[in-house]
C-alpha cells in the first residue's frame, strides 16, 4: 500500500483516496465533503501508528515526566485533514463498534494477527483509547499498554494473562480488597491456589513460599489500607529468578513509583483515581513490557472489558495535569499527616513519606514522591463509636465519605485493616492501638481542612465521654 494512503489526505486528494480503496464507488462521493474523510484519515493514520508502535510525534521517551504528562500519546498531525496542517490539541472522541473495510484484502489484513493489526472492531481499541494507552505506557516506562473498563478489570485481566488451572500465585496480604476477592472466589473456582504473604517480608522469606507450580507474584506498594512498603526490587528479583510473572498495582503512585524499572513485568493502575482526577470515570490501565504485552492484550480481548471512549478521553485529559495535581496532593497530604502526628488522639500516622514510617528508607530509595492518601490510628482511649463520630463530623464540613479516592475532593473513611488480611494481622490489641481512619487529602486549603479535623476530634472526644458515662 503506498505510504501516502497511510496518512491523512487533504480535500483535494479525496477522490483519489476513495478510488484507491473503494473503486467505482468513489464517483458517488462529492469533493469537499471533508467530515467523513477527517475521521477516515484519523483511523488510517492511527492504524499505521498502532502497527509500527511509534510513541508520539518524535517520541518522548527521553524527556522528564512533566513533559511526558503533556506530550505522551499526542499526535496532532494525525488529527487533521487540513491542507495547511492546522490541527487540535486533543484527539477526537471516537465512538465505534463496527469498523468498515474498503476491500476484502483490507479485512483479511486486519485479521492476520487479530487484534494486533490496528483498527478491527471497536471493542479492541480506537484512536481515542490508543492515545491514552500510549501516554500511559510512556509514563510507566512500558512498551505498550491496554485500557480496560475499571481498575478491577485491569487486575483481573493481568492476573488471568499468566494463570491457568493448577497454578499457584503469591499475593501481598495488603492488596486492594477486590484483588483478594478475585483470588479467593474466582480463581479458586478454577483450581488456582493463592498464598498471601506479609507485605514487609524479606526476599528470602518470599522465596521460601515459591512452589514448583507458582507462576505469578502480585505486589502492591504501599499496601491498600496499612500503607506498608515492599522491598520491591528485592521481591521482584526473586520473582524473576524463579520465572514468575511480576505484576504490580501502582494506583497509589503513578509517575512517583516505577515498578517496571524495578523488575515488574506489568504495572497497572485504577485510572478511576488519580489519573482521572475528578471522580467521574471508571477506567483501568495496564502497562506491559515488550515480552508481556501480547499475553495481557489477549487476556483483555478474551474478557471483553474495553474502556469507553468518553472515559478514555477524560483520562487522557487527566494525565495532562497529573503532575501538578499530584504535587499539590503530596504537599497537602504531608502537611495534614505531620499535623496529625502532633495530635494527642493519634498513636501513629501511616504515611510512607514520614520519617516515622517503618519503611521510610524504602520509600526514599524506590519512590520519588507521595500523594494525598494515607491512614492513621487513634489511641486506645477511643473506640469505634468515637471514631465513627469523628468521621460523621467531618462530612458536615469539607470532607466527604465514600470509597475510591484520587479526585480533587478530600475524603474520610473508617477502615478495619484486618478485614482484608489473612497472613498477618494489624495491631489493634497492643497498648495505645485504637481504631484506624483513612484520609484522602484533596485540593482544598490545608488550613480549612485542619479546622474540620479539629472539629472531628472534638466530636470524637464528646462521643467517647458519652459511651463511658453510659457504661
Catalogue the active-site residues.
123, 176, 249, 273
Rounded CA-CA distance 290/144 in Å is 7
Cβ proximity of 410 and 456 under 8 Å: no
**DSSP state, 260?**
G
Q: Is the dihedral of CA 352, 353, 358, 361 positive or negative?
A: positive
Contacts of 248 (CB under 8 A, 6+ apart): 218, 219, 220, 221, 232, 259, 264, 266, 267, 268
How many CB atoms sit inside 10 A of residue 216's CB?
25
**Kind and range of the H or E element at 381?**
none
User: 345-380 burial, b for 16+ CB within 10 Å, e for fewer?
Assistant: bbbbbbbbbbeebebeebbeebbebbbbbbbbbbbe
Please, what's the b/e burial string for 105-132 (b: 16 or more CB within 10 A of its CB; e: otherwise)?
eeeebbeeeebbebbbbbebbbbbbbbb
Rounded Cα gap, residues 206 and 420, in angstroms: 20
| CA–CA separation, 37 and 41 (whole Å) | 6
How is residue 369 written as a grid cell?
514522591
- The answer to whether the CB of 116 falls within 8 A of the CB of 125 is no
Question: What number of other Cβ atoms are within 10 A of residue 190's Cβ?
Answer: 12
DSSP string over 1-30: --GGGGS---GGGHHHHHHHHHGGGGGGSP
- The DSSP call for residue 61 is T
Cα distance between residue 393 and residue 226, in whole Å:
23
Asked whether the bond before 32 is cis by omega within 30 degrees of 0, the reply is: no
Amino acid at each position: 500500500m503506498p505510504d501516502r494512503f497511510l496518512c491523512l489526505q487533504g480535500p483535494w486528494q479525496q477522490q483519489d483516496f476513495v478510488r484507491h480503496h473503494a473503486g467505482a464507488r468513489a464517483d458517488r462521493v462529492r469533493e469537499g465533503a471533508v467530515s467523513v474523510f477527517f475521521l477516515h484519515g484519523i483511523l488510517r493514520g492511527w492504524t499505521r501508528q498502532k502497527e509500527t508502535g511509534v510513541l508520539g510525534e518524535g517520541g518522548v521517551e527521553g524527556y522528564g515526566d512533566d513533559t511526558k504528562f503533556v506530550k505522551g500519546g499526542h499526535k496532532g498531525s494525525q488529527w487533521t485533514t487540513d491542507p495547511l496542517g492546522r490541527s487540535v490539541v486533543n484527539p477526537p472522541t471516537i465512538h465505534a463498534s463496527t469498523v468498515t473495510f474498503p476491500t476484502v484484502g483490507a479485512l483479511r489484513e486486519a485479521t492476520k494477527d487479530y487484534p494486533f493489526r490496528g483498527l478491527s472492531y471497536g471493542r479492541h481499541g480506537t484512536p481515542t483509547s490508543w492515545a491514552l494507552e500510549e501516554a500511559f505506557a510512556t509514563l510507566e516506562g512500558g512498551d505498550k499498554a491496554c485500557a480496560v473498563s475499571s481498575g478491577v478489570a485491569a487486575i483481573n485481566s493481568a492476573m488471568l494473562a499468566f494463570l491457568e488451572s493448577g497454578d499457584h500465585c503469591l499475593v501481598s496480604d495488603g492488596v486492594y480488597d477486590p484483588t483478594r476477592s478475585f483470588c479467593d472466589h474466582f480463581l479458586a473456582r478454577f483450581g488456582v491456589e493463592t498464598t498471601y504473604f506479609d507485605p514487609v517480608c524479606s526476599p528470602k522469606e518470599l522465596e521460601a513460599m515459591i512452589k514448583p507450580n507458582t507462576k505469578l507474584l502480585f505486589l502492591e506498594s504501599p499496601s491498600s489500607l496499612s500503607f506498608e512498603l515492599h522491598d520491591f526490587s528485592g521481591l521482584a528479583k526473586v520473582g524473576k529468578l524463579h520465572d514468575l510473572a511480576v505484576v504490580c498495582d501502582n494506583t497509589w503512585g503513578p509517575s512517583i513509583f516505577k515498578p517496571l524499572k524495578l523488575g515488574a513485568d506489568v504495572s497497572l493502575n485504577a485510572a478511576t483515581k488519580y489519573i482521572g482526577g475528578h471522580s467521574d470515570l471508571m477506567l483501568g490501565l495496564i502497562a506491559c513490557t515488550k515480552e508481556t504485552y501480547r499475553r495481557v492484550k489477549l487476556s483483555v480481548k478474551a474478557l471483553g472489558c474495553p474502556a469507553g471512549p468518553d472515559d478514555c478521553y477524560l483520562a487522557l485529559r487527566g494525565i495532562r495535569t497529573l503532575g501538578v495535581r499530584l504535587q499539590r496532593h503530596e504537599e497537602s497530604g504531608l502537611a495534614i499527616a505531620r499535623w496529625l502526628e502532633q495530635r494527642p488522639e493519634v498513636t501513629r500516622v501511616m504515611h510512607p513519606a514520614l520519617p516515622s514510617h517503618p519503611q521510610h528508607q524504602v520509600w526514599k530509595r524506590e519512590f520519588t514522591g507521595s500523594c494525598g492518601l494515607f491512614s492513621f490510628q487513634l489511641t486506645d482511649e477511643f473506640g469505634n463509636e468515637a471514631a465513627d463520630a469523628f468521621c460523621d463530623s467531618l462530612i458536615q464540613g469539607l470532607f466527604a465519605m465514600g470509597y475510591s479516592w484520587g479526585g480533587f475532593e478530600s475524603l474520610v473513611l473508617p477502615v478495619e485493616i484486618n478485614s482484608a488480611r489473612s497472613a498477618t494481622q494489624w495491631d489493634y490489641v497492643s497498648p495505645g492501638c485504637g481504631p484506624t481512619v483513612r484520609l484522602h487529602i484533596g485540593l482544598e486549603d490545608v488550613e480549612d481542612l485542619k479546622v474540620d479535623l479539629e472539629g472531628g476530634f472534638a466530636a470524637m472526644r464528646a462521643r467517647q465521654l458519652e459511651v463511658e458515662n453510659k457504661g
